[in-house]
Every structure is written in C-alpha cells, then in structure tokens.
A = this chain, B = another copy of it.
Amino acid sequence: MSASHSLDRNDLLAEKRSAFDIPEGVIYLDGNSLGVLPGHVPARLAEVVAGEWGTSLIRAWNDHGWIDLPGRTGDRIARLIGAPKGSVVACDSTSVNVFKVLAAALSLRPDRKVILSDTGNFPTDLYVASGLKTLLDKGHELKVVAPEEVHDAIDETVAVLMLTQVDYRSGRLHDMADLTAVAHGAGALTVWDLAHSAGALPVDLAGAKADFAVGCGYKYLNGGPGAPAFLYVAPQHQERVTSPLTGWMGHAAPFAFDLDYRPETGIGRMTAGTPPVLSLSGLHAALDVFEDVDMADIRTKSISLSEFFIAEVEARCPQLELASPRDPNRRGSQVSFRFKEGYSVMQALISRGVIGDFRAPDIMRFGFTPLYLSHQDVADAVAILAEILETESWNRPEYRKRSKVT
C-alpha cells in the first residue's frame, strides 16, 4: 500500500470532500486564495435570488432575515475562531474592517503613537494603516519590523500591535497568545488578521485575550469570490469603541431615520452600509460545511498533508528549497518553496491542473485545505511537479509571460 493510501485511510475528514464541487482534472492547492464551491451553495443562492429577492422583494429583509444576516454569519464564524457569540460580524472587506478596528483600537490608546506590524503582514493591512495614519494626522508612526523581531519591538510606545497570524507567503504562524500577552504587558492592544487562519487551524481569540480581529470569507471559509470579511471586537471593548465608518446599519435604530448617529449596542455597531446580501448569503451557506467539524481534526489533517507534501517534494524535487518553517507547529496550512524559475514552473503546473500560486520573486505557494484534499492529491501533485522539473517543460515560452493576476 502506498504512503498516501495509508494516510488517507486514517483521514477523519475524508467524507467531507463530497461536500464540494471540485472540477474534473484539477488538484486545487490554492484554497488559501479562493476556496472551492461547496456543492449545496448553487441551489441555495438560486433560492436567495429567485425566492427571496425575486418573490419577497423588500419584505425579505424581515421574512428571510436579511437584516440579521451579518450577525448570524458572524456567529457561525465565531465558533471557528474561539470567539463568544455576539462578538463577530460579517461585513465589508478585510481592508475596510482593518480600518475600522485599527481606528477603534487607536481611540483606546490616545496617548500612544506607534502601530507595530511586520513585513509578513498582508500588504493591504499596511496600506490601510498608513492611510489611516495620514488621515488622522496626529503623528502616528507605522513601525514595520521583521516577523522574528516583533516580540522584542513591543514596548510602551506601542498603541496597537497589528499582525496577520499566518504569513501569506511563507505560512509562518505567529504565537497569538504569547504576543498578545507581551503586548498587554506593555499596555498595547492587538489587532489580529486571521485571513489565512480562519477555517484553516484552531484559533482561540478569547483564550488568547485578543482585542480585535479581522478575517477573510473567501479563503478557507469557501464563501465565494470577494465574500464579505468578518471582524471581532472583544466583549469588554464593544461598548467603549465606535466604528469610524458610522453607517446606518450600525445605528441603534436604522429605520427610525434619526438625523443623529447613535451606535447599536454590541458588535452590530461595527457594520456600516447595507450588506451585499447575495455574497453574504453565499458565505452563510458555505459555513454549513463546518457545522459538524472539529477544528482540531482540521489541524491534524492539515499537518499531515503538509508534512507529506514536504517529504515528497524534498525526495523528488531537490531543485526546490523549503521557504516555510520546517516545524509544523510554526506553520499555517500552506507550504512554500523557493525556485528561481518558480513563475514558469507554476504556470506549467497550472496547465497540468495543479493549481497553486506564485509570489515574487521566487515563491511557489501551495495551500492545503483539509476539507477537500487527500494525500493522494498531494502525491499526484508532486509527481506532476517532479515530471515538469525533470523534463524542463516549464521552460517553454508560453509559461514565461506574466499574467495580470498570478
């Protein structure tokens, strides 16, 4: 029996694969960019479009609970990230949510000026922080250090420590509980971006005493392209902050149409405008798949898949150099390898149905989504990768151009 076969026999999540529509001939190692389509979602969305919008029209806000959809979706996500009910809401994009929670966090530390982050943060978080700093014009400093320097850079000048838990390129995993404790010890607050964590590994926001968090709906949560993001505010901060984006959906009584803003009690105050109901319904429905899943099982399988992948690549593709931490406890659910011609190799892989992605200058990135990948998929993907590297088929002209989105 092959190694992959034996590993797949012990896979507690094996039957979850049938919950997804995976295109024929595709081994999808990019669920960390855009999750695949859960099989029941098309019918559910068709019902939202024709049944709810088309038939109930404006009455659907009440009759089909659209008005509570951001909170109901947030509560489903809360369970996956160790957050209490009523502390998470699904709304807007991750970028917009970073703006909201960072502004809220800074408002609680008016005498401090440093936003501390690292070079492993997803760029949009840094852009948003920089834009907010410019807008506020109060002398804030955005201090960006190397990931391994974060711990020592936390001091009493820091207002907010803002980090993405899993590095989008290398998969390096920050210790949320430890860094949050250090930040709190220095009197700072924390904003955690869970874009590559939520649905990929167990997160314990409450246990780690995280203050604020944001995350993405369309990666490991499989909510569909551009699905609304989510945000978390720790219960003890909820009544002490307001959103800087004071839209009507965050008003205590949006349909009273008062001229003055009065924030809703609780997490709802962090919403802004009318939610994109179709996209949000897709995310809400996609979360069905997680209902009976234990995040510990996800983590076990994630590590099994990624360890198997590293072993196979290192055995069969000696040209590649591991760019992720070797210790699985220090990685998220993705593995990256460096190769000078990584761009072309990735294009050749994609043309053979093995979909990963590439990040300049030389990172080939592979995401492992335990709900719909098997060890056999991993073995097959590495076999194709080895074949491409051996034959230099990646060296063909068609693989050497860069498309707009890589």
Question: Which A residues are closer than 8 A to B by beta carbons?
Answer: 21, 23, 26, 28, 30, 33-34, 36-37, 41-42, 45-46, 49-50, 52-55, 57-62, 66-67, 92-96, 99, 103, 119, 122-124, 126-128, 130-132, 134-138, 144, 218, 224-229, 242-249, 251, 255-261, 272-280, 282, 350, 355, 357, 359-360, 403-406
Given A127-B261, A225-B278, A246-B127, decide whether A405 and B92 contact each other with a Cβ distance below 8 A: no
A371 to chain B, nearest CB (A): 15
Determine if B225 and A66 form an interchain contact, defined as CB atoms under 8 angstroms apart. Answer: yes
Q: Which of B23, B61, B272 contacts A405 (CB 8 A)?
A: B61
Within 8 Å CB of A42, what residues of B? 46, 49-50, 54
Instruction: Knowing that A42-B54, A95-B274 touch, tell me 5 more A-B residue pairs with CB under 8 angstroms.
Output: A21-B54, A46-B46, A58-B357, A130-B260, A131-B243
Determine if A92 and B273 form an interchain contact, defined as CB atoms under 8 angstroms apart. Answer: yes
Determine if A226 and B130 form an interchain contact, defined as CB atoms under 8 angstroms apart. Answer: no
CA distance A57 to B119 in the complex (A): 28
Determine if A277 and B224 form an interchain contact, defined as CB atoms under 8 angstroms apart. Answer: yes
CA distance A130 to B136 in the complex (A): 15
Within 8 Å CB of A260, what residues of B? 126-127, 130
CA distance A184 to B271 in the complex (A): 34
Within 8 Å CB of A99, what residues of B? 245
Determine if A37 and B62 form an interchain contact, defined as CB atoms under 8 angstroms apart. Answer: no
5 pairs, A vs B, C-beta closer than 8 Å = A58-B357, A96-B96, A128-B245, A130-B261, A256-B360
Given A67-B405, A93-B274, A127-B246, decide whether A53 and B224 contact each other with a Cβ distance below 8 A: yes
Given A54-B37, A96-B92, A128-B245, decide whether A255 and B405 contact each other with a Cβ distance below 8 A: yes
Within 8 Å CB of A30, what residues of B? 57-58
Determine if A36 and B57 form an interchain contact, defined as CB atoms under 8 angstroms apart. Answer: yes
Q: Which residue of B lies closest to A262 (CB)?
A: B127
Q: Which residue of B lies closest to A229 (CB)?
A: B273
Within 8 Å CB of A62, what residues of B? 403-405
Determine if A127 and B251 form an interchain contact, defined as CB atoms under 8 angstroms apart. Answer: yes
